[in-house]
Amino acid sequence: MATTSGTGAVNSPYYSITFLWDDIDFSLCVDRVHIVNSIDAVYQVFIIEAGIRAKDILDYDLHGQKKMKVIVELKTEDAGESVESFETELILQHTLGDLSIMPEKEEDGADHAKVNRGAFFCIPTVAYKMTTQSLNALAPNNDPKSPFDMVMDLVKKYITDADVTVDDRNANKYKGEQLMVPASNFGAALDHIQEHYGIYKGYTYFQCVIEENRTLFHMWDLSKIIKDEPLYKVYFLSQGKKDSEVMKEVGKDDKSYHTYLPIQTFNRENEIVARISKTQQHMISPNDDLFSIIELDVENVWKENAVRDGGELKLSDTVKETQDFLGRYRVGVDYSDANLTSKIAKEISHGMEREFKLDRNLRLKNLMKVGYPIEFVPESVEYGGVQGKYVIQSSRISLVRDTVAHWNAMVTIRVFRGNAMI
């Protein structure tokens, strides 16, 4: 009998993957599927690795505008019942690989069409089409809008085929100068508003993604979302702990996972603060058009707007002396102090990063998500300092064909927080 890290079932579940291109089934040609997501991306990326004859692409007229669909199911081994499944329609962005149509000479002397290895980089169709719509926007001069309000107007107008989840905690509601968005697409428009005005006072996150067979648009301040209940817990176990109390409950749903694999750690609080400077002077232009000079202290920004689960900011005395008066990498004039604190909060929040891996037959629904809090629960003494909550920075799910009918999964999750403690 085998127990998996993903489900805790006695009979190991298995994956079933279907890949359709213009309704033609190429499932048996596929040997790898990667689902990549990051808080820095506007949408997810699906990478389909397959051995497909270039001749078939020509014969079936399979090109970028033809519909693609991927279906991933986790089934029970005994009855073949679906534990979970998701499917999404994809649009092909580009292809990487040798798609030569030259025939190959076989031993029998006949010409045979060559099977080519290719990687197809795809994006969920609905998310792609909504976030790449062209637009420009100008707030009425007699009806000033805050950066947050302007973004919400754009969301209501252009995100029409997705469920919208927006959290207004710590939103920038300051109504100053007339806001303007130059000609751009939707994703770039939100980047412009964030860069020039600040959508939130803390670490801004927005994304259009596929979750549980639905297209969703998310937007919130990560410094506030980390205070919510964790999406799932990850138990870090020592070798030989398979009979622990944890193992009796972990994996029964998608709220808990466990791993014996080592964690990669990155701690660089002093490096970050030394680079951006502990104290900074800036000019801001409020709505009366009179400029004012403000001084920001990283410690204050960290306390109020960093992504952290408690902790204490520990800086060396020499780092505390660093100052910046309009340095070459930072523009000194900004719309409001919210814009500045948001930028600094993003940098200081990456003082601690962790990367861990989960393997075998996992429930993937929650592992596809980023921008949510999760909790580390170490049983091993060597990982005693990593406990607590983090925010998911990126997720890479790799499904690799093991045999004709079976697939293995490896999930790499990167998380971060600005606790500044080891």
Beta bridge partners of 266: 353
Q: Is residue 5 part of a domain?
A: no
Residue ranges in 159-200 assigned as alpha helix (H): 186-196
Q: Look at residue 315 and tell me if it is in a domain.
A: yes
What stretch of H or E contains 46?
strand 45-53
> How far apart are the C-alpha atoms of 168 and 343, rounded to whole Å?
18
Is 93 contained in some domain? yes
Q: Which of these, 43, 391, 371, 339, lies nearest to 205 by C-alpha position?
A: 371
Same domain, 39 and 109: yes
Q: Give yes or no for a contact between 15 and 82, defined as CB atoms under 8 angstroms apart.
A: no
**216 and 235 co-located in one domain:** no
Residue 111 DSSP SS3: strand
**How do residues 96-155 score in pLDDT, each as one tens digit?**
876 665 555 556 655 556 677 889 999 999 999 999 999 999 888 778 899 999 999 999
Domain limits for position 295: 269-349
State which residues of the chain have pLDDT below 50: 1-10, 326-329, 421-422
How far is the C-alpha of 418 from the C-alpha of 390, rounded, in Å? 9
> Could you tell me the two tokens for 100?
């030569």
- If asked whether residues 244 and 391 sit together in one domain, one would say yes
In this structure, the answer to whether residues 30 and 150 fall within a common structural domain is no
113 DSSP 8-state letter: P
pTM for this prediction: 0.89
Decide if 284 is inside a domain: yes
Q: Residue 269 has which token pair?
A: 């609080």
DSSP 3-state assignment of 117?
strand
Last residue within a domain, chosen from 221, 246, 279 = 221
Residues 204 and 337 in one domain: no
Give the model's pLDDT for residue 9. 39
193, 171 Cβ separation under 8 angstroms: no
What is the CATH number for 19?
2.40.10.10
In a domain, 326, yes or no: yes
The CATH number for 189's domain is 3.55.50.10
Among residues 101, 129, 157, which one ends one of the domains?
Answer: 129
End-to-end Cα separation, the chain, in angstroms: 39
Residues 217 and 91 in one domain: no
Burial of 10 (0-12, 13-18, 19+ CB in 10 A): exposed
Within 13 A of 244's CA, how many CA atoms are on the CB side?
A: 16
Q: Which residues contact 211 (CB under 8 A, 6 or more apart)?
A: 365, 368, 369
The predicted-structure confidence for 171-225, as pLDDT tens digits, reads as follows: 999 887 788 899 999 999 999 999 888 999 999 999 999 988 899 999 999 999 9
**Residues 373, 255 within the same domain:** yes
Task: Tell whether 51 and 161 lie within a shared domain.
Answer: no
| Cβ neighbour number for residue 159 with a 10 Å cutoff | 20
Q: Is residue 4 part of a domain?
A: no
Question: Contact, 307 vs 203, CB < 8 A?
Answer: yes
User: If you search the block for the tokens 């980023």, which residue do you land on?
Assistant: 370
Q: Are residues 43 and 93 in the same domain?
A: yes
DSSP-assigned letters across all residues of 261-314: SPPEEEE-HHHHHHHH-SEEEEEE--TTS--EEEEEEHHHHHHHHS--SS----
- Alpha-carbon span 222 to 204, nearest angstrom: 6
How far, in Å, CA of 118 to CA of 133, rounded?
29
259 and 158 within one domain: no
* Per-residue CA distances from 146 to 32, 62, 338, 360 (Å): 45, 46, 11, 47
DSSP H or E segment with residue 147: helix 147-158
What pLDDT shows up at residue 385? 72
Q: How many CB atoms lie within 10 A of CB 61?
A: 9
Same domain, 297 and 336: yes
Domain boundary among 68, 100, 129: 129
| 24 and 123 inside one domain | yes
| Number of domains observed in the structure of the chain | 4
Residue 165 lies inside a defined structural domain of this protein: yes
Answer whether residue 7 is part of any domain: no
